[in-house]
Structure 1
């Protein structure tokens, strides 16, 4: 099997992997392999995930820009979804803000340009789920190949874009499956969703793509990524709303 075959099989549940036989040497090579993975999975791209979307997160990862991956049609689910057993390997919960586009973006735009084209925003939980046995050991390029470790994105109701600034300032928490509470990151460690989508507009344009109307773009975590066992996850943005999902037993 090729590395593409192996990572696709792991995404479909036949993992985890110790690593790739021929891991990409840099992020440019990683994105080329990621496109092959996306094509092999054969699912419709309906959004995008960005990670390391703050300077602090990028410094910690040893990179100088956010990392990007497509969100495929099977990854996005509605609020209060109950996931089946063995859906994930090592699920981590993250409270996030999703920008939903009302108009397509075919060229690089500013944060104000993103606001003009946004249908609104949604509160969300990203269930991150690496397909590697030891994620830190494989490095950023191999993680990019693994679709940036996205397992699922749980989205809440669409809210007017005018309320985005209040959502960014809101106190945030994430309740894990065992009932423990993860408090939100400090304000200076939380992403600016409009600026993140502006970066994405440049990223996709440089690669000959564009952002479709109706795309869901998740813009980085507002809580520390934290492993969760079975039970209910609840992301709360105080005064704005909440979104939840239920995890079952992971794969052994």
Structure 2
């Protein structure tokens, strides 16, 4: 990747922001398409030294509905913690909270296996599920107002991920699934059946095809968090965040 390539420049700007614990303006930058944004993700991860060779072990994936193009991002391992978690040692800028279900692969998935998957068959690779809390943050000073491709390059505005206790995966009536999110002293946010794709498993085939696109196998134990049931809720330093999914479990984090 040439140093004057826009993808390289975006990755370097983001790496400097990550390393300096600061934000940077998105205004000087532009990316041509999603392929360029994913290339910037890869270059950023390489600059930061986040991952060994091969696909990352933690991911986020999702989209606003089944008709939309789903997006994916690998997650830096230092920000992935088990509930109850504390992030007093990490710097965030503008904090958003998403209440999610994470899924874990029970076996490795090769590129050939991923290519053959459908929404109906991808669930056979999942062995466990857990409540997860994603902390949303941005290295762009414009935050959510930055261009979509630049947000995608910035790990789809990822800050950190909290994982609750794992339990065996079983198909559920997700349309009846109740979720409660509590943030600080605010009134609890209660939602039922509000996963944007109706079923968290629905995105697995698309995510696995993306994760194996460079020819590497995704390892057993790899985790993907699958989209928010409550949209993105504002939070601030000092808040305690608790998320509970009836029949699945809970997770908590101190910001």
Q: TM-score, structure 1 length as denominator?
A: 0.86
Structure 2 unaligned regions, length at least 5: 4-8
SS in 2 for 1:122: strand
Tell me which residue corresponds to 2:181. 174
Distance 1:133-1:203 versus aligned 2 partners, 3 A rule? same
In structure 2, C-alpha distance between the alignment counterparts of 1:206 and 1:165, rounded to whole Å:
30
- List per-residue Cα deviations over 1:66-93 (Å, max 9, x = no partner): 1111022112100011111652111111
Structure-2 separation of matches of 1:12 and 1:177: 29
Match of 1:72 in 2: 76
Q: Does 2:46 match 1:35? A: no
Contact 2:95 2:234 in 1 (8 A): yes
Alignment match, 1:161: 169
Residues 130, 150 of structure 1: 8 Å contact kept: yes
C-alpha contact (below 8 Å) 2:242/2:251 kept by paired residues:
yes
More helix by share: 1
1:40-97 deviations in whole A, cap 9, x for unaligned? 1111221211132524xx7xxxxx3111110221121000111116521111111101
Please give the alpha-carbon distance, in whole angstroms, between the structure 2 residues aligned to 1:188 and 1:47.
20
SS in 2 for 1:32: helix
In structure 2, what is the equivalent of residue 96 of structure 1?
A: 100
SS in 1 for 2:75: strand
Q: CA deviation at 1:231?
A: 1.3
Q: Matched residues in 2 for 1:88 and 1:73: separation?
A: 16
Distance 1:235 1:220, change over 3 A: same
Q: Tell me what 1:114 maps to.
A: 122
Cα–Cα, structure 1 residues 174 and 82, in superposed 2: closer, same or farther, change >3 Å? same
Instruction: Please name the residue that 1:48 is paired with.
Output: 59
Calculate the aligned-residue CA RMSD, in Å: 2.2
Number of equivalent positions: 239
- Structure 2 CA distance for aligned equivalents of residues 185 and 23 of structure 1: 38
- Provide the TM-score with structure 2 as the length reference: 0.85
Partner Cα distance (2:152, 2:185) in 1:
30
Runs of 4+ deviating beyond 6 Å:
none
The superposition leaves residues 168-199 of structure 1 with CA deviations (integer Å, 9 ceiling, x where unpaired) of 63211211123332232654635422111111
Consecutive unaligned residues in structure 1, runs of 5 or more: 59-63, 248-252
What's the CA shift for 1:116?
Answer: 1.9
- The answer on whether the counterparts of 1:191 and 1:220 sit within 8 Å (CA) in structure 2 is no
